[in-house]
Structures are given as structure tokens and as C-alpha cells.
């Protein structure tokens, strides 16, 4: 199956419930969650630690299968796909910025993006140009594009993470606590960047955060409490 022809319609979660084993019983991490995010829409999910935000992103990213409910990416129901098809869906349609930065210590910023290219088989010069343009567009100057992670600040590393998530031209962009390691001003700049990206790349963007001060640039904010998602 190829998903490349599917129209961009964004992300939809329908009645999604996720539980984890918890001693004799089960812990409900996501409780009948409904969420629709259209292309070009920047949605924030705010909630305290342990409320289920990362679980929500893991399910939306098709990395975690829900106990029940549906996850639709551009209208494709992830639950109906084989493992391989789901991997393809992720690669072609999802951009994920994890809470823990997983940049490779030995690679420069440009190489962090290009390492994905080996899977995709695009022409090397074109791929490099695209990587440099994306890093430029997230505000990482040319000289810094040749630095390794330990030679970059936390905010700059976060920008590399975001550029990397954009490299595959995703339809849905999922971002977990992008500001947690940053001071307020740098955090606000990253949120601003995500708002701009959502417009220019027309992504259906979901950012989760426990930092409510940073939500001025979002189109919509939802609250997560004990696995339940409610309007703010």
C-alpha cells in the first residue's frame, strides 16, 4: 500500500482509550478522547504531569495502539494497517518531536536531517540543500548547521529537532513539551516558530505542554486531566 496519494485532511482521534497495566488493575491513560486537527491548525494540549499528554501523542503518532477507538491520519485509519504500512504512514505523513531530544551525538545539525535520507533515497545534493533550507527556516544559521548537538544551545537543539520532523514534509506535526528545557523567552520563540510552521507548511499541529503561559499563539487550547480531553 502507498499512502502518498491520500489527500491532506489532518488528524482525527475518535473515542480513543488507552490503558496501561497497573498492579491488579489498569491505569486509564486516555479516556475516550475525541480530537480533530485540520491542516494549518495549531492546537495545544495543556495539562499537568501524568495527565496523559505523551500518551496522546504516542497514540496519534501510531507508535502506541489504543485499546479502543480510531486514529485517522489524512483519513487513513492506522488501526487497519500492517506494521509495515504504519511505518510508511509515519514516514510519509507524521513529524514527531519527542520530549527527550534524540539527536545523535556524533552528527552535525545538517546530518541529523540527512541521516533520514538514507531510508528515503533522494538525490544527495538536493537532500542537503533541502536540509539547509529547513534549518535556515527554523532560525539555525549556516555556521551552526555544521555543529554537533553538544556545541548547540538547548533552544538551537530544539530547532534542529523541529527541522528534522519537517524533513519528510509531514501532514501532521506532533510536538511533546518543546519548551520544558528552555527559559521563558526561548520557549516563547519556539512556540512562535511552531505557529509559523503550521501556516507555512500547512501542518495539523498538536503541541502538548504543562506551561500555560506559552499558549498565546495557538488557535485552540484543550485541557487534559486524568486522560480526559476537554475544551479550555
Residue 77: its H or E element: strand 76-77
DSSP string covering 158-196, please?
HHHHHHHHHTT--SEEEEE-TTTTS-HHHHHHHHHHHHH
Shortest separation between residue 64's beta carbon and ligand ADP, angstroms = 9
With a CB cutoff of 8 Å and minimum separation 6, the contacts of 125 are none
Among 17, 32, 54, 189, binds Mg ion (CB under 5 A): 54
- Residue 84 contacts by C-beta under 8 Å, 6 or more apart in sequence? none
Q: What are phi and psi of 38, to 5 degrees?
A: -85, 160
Taking CB within 5 to 8 Å according to partner kind, which of ligand ADP, Mg ion, none is near residue 55? Answer: ligand ADP
Q: Contact between 144 and ligand ADP (CB under 6 A)?
A: no
The reply on whether position 218 binds ligand ADP by CB under 6 A is no
Q: How many CA atoms lie within 13 A of 90 on its CB side?
A: 21
Contacts (CB under 6 A) with ligand ADP, residues 41-60: 47, 49-55
Our measurement of the distance from residue 78's CA atom to the centroid of its chain's CA atoms, rounded to an integer in Å, reads 16
| Cβ closest to ligand ADP, residue 36 vs residue 54 | 54
> In this complex, which beta carbon is closest to ligand ADP, that of residue 23 or of residue 121?
23
Binding mask 180-209 for ligand ADP (x = CB under 6 A): ------------------------------
All 3 cell numbers of residue 66?
489504543
Total site size for ligand ADP, rule CB under 6 A: 11
CB of 91 to ligand ADP, least distance (A): 24
Give me the residues that bind ligand ADP (CB under 6 A), please: 20, 27, 29, 47, 49-55
Give me the residues that bind Mg ion (CB under 5 A), please: 53-54
Amino acid at each position: 500500500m502507498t499512502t502518498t496519494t491520500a489527500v491532506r485532511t489532518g488528524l482525527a482521534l475518535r473515542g480513543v482509550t488507552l490503558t496501561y497495566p497497573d498492579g491488579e488493575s489498569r491505569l486509564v491513560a486516555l479516556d475516550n478522547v475525541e480530537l480533530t486537527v485540520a491542516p494549518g491548525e495549531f492546537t495545544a494540549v495543556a495539562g499537568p504531569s501524568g495527565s496523559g499528554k505523551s500518551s496522546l501523542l504516542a497514540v496519534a503518532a501510531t507508535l502506541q495502539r489504543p485499546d479502543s477507538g480510531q486514529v485517522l491520519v489524512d483519513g487513513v485509519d492506522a488501526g487497519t494497517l500492517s506494521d509495515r504500512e504504519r511505518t510508511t504512514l509515519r514516514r510519509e505523513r507524521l513529524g514527531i518531536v519527542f520530549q527527550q531530544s534524540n539527536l545523535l551525538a556524533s552528527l552535525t545539525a545538517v546530518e541529523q536531517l540527512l541521516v533520514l535520507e538514507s531510508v528515503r533515497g533522494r538525490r544527495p545534493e538536493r537532500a542537503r540543500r533541502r536540509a539547509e533550507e529547513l534549518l535556515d527556516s527554523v532560525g539555525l544559521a549556516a555556521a551552526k548547521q555544521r555543529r554537533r548537538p553538544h556545541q548547540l544551545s538547548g533552544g538551537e537543539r530544539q530547532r534542529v529537532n523541529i527541522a528534522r520532523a519537517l524533513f519528510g514534509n509531514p501532514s501532521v506535526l506532533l510536538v511533546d513539551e518543546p519548551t520544558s528545557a528552555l527559559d521563558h523567552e526561548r520557549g516563547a520563540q519556539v512556540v512562535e516558530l511552531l505557529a509559523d510552521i503550521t501556516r507555512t507548511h500547512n501542518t495539523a499541529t498538536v503541541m502538548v505542554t504543562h506551561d500555560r503561559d506559552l499558549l498565546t499563539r495557538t488557535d485552540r487550547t484543550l485541557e487534559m486531566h486524568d486522560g480526559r480531553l476537554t475544551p479550555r
